[in-house]
Amino acid sequence: GAGVSQSPSNKVTEKGKDVELRCDPISGHTALYWYRQRLGQGLEFLIYFQGNSAPDKSGLPSDRFSAERTGESVSTLTIQRTQQEDSAVYLCASSLLGGRLFFGEGSRLTVL
């Protein structure tokens, strides 16, 4: 597709389970970002990938969170041993280096 695609759009899981969220960036975009947005809050930066450089993980809230990206393609955000406070919309964005961000529609995670 022409835009950033995220899946699943909705995920309900039980506390303690692991979840994987996927992001397909716009083809050719070297930069990829993950954000978390809790209900009624702003966007919280999580992690940034740029080409083959080491990712900027400075926003990851704990070691339960990790993300991978192979080259300039798909990225996966993994949350291990989910907690209720992980409930949020997880947004992915991609861009050309230094360009404007194009966001996906997000993955809504609910941890029961």
Partner 1 sequence: DAKTTQPPSMDCAEGRAANLPCNHSTISGNEYVYWYRQIHSQGPQYIIHGLKNNETNEMASLIITEDRKSSTLILPHATLRDTAVYYCIVRVPYSGGGADGLTFGKGTHLIIQP
Among 45, 70, 73, 83, binds partner 1 (CB under 8 A): 45
Residues 6 or more apart in contact with residue 9 via CB below 8 angstroms: 105, 106, 107, 108
Q: Is the dihedral of CA 18, 24, 25, 30 positive or negative?
A: positive
Report if residue 29 touches partner 1, rule: CB under 8 A. no
Report if residue 33 touches partner 1, rule: CB under 8 A. yes
User: How far is 29 from 80, CA to CA, in rounded Å?
Assistant: 28
Beta bridge partners of 44: 36
Report if residue 42 touches partner 1, rule: CB under 8 A. yes
The answer to whether 23 and 92 are in contact (CB under 8 A) is yes
User: Residue 52 CB, nearest distance to partner 1 (Å)?
Assistant: 14
Among 4, 19, 67, 109, binds partner 1 (CB under 8 A): 4
Give the binding site for partner 1 (CB under 8 A).
4, 31, 33, 35, 41-43, 45, 47-48, 50, 56, 58-59, 91, 93, 97-106
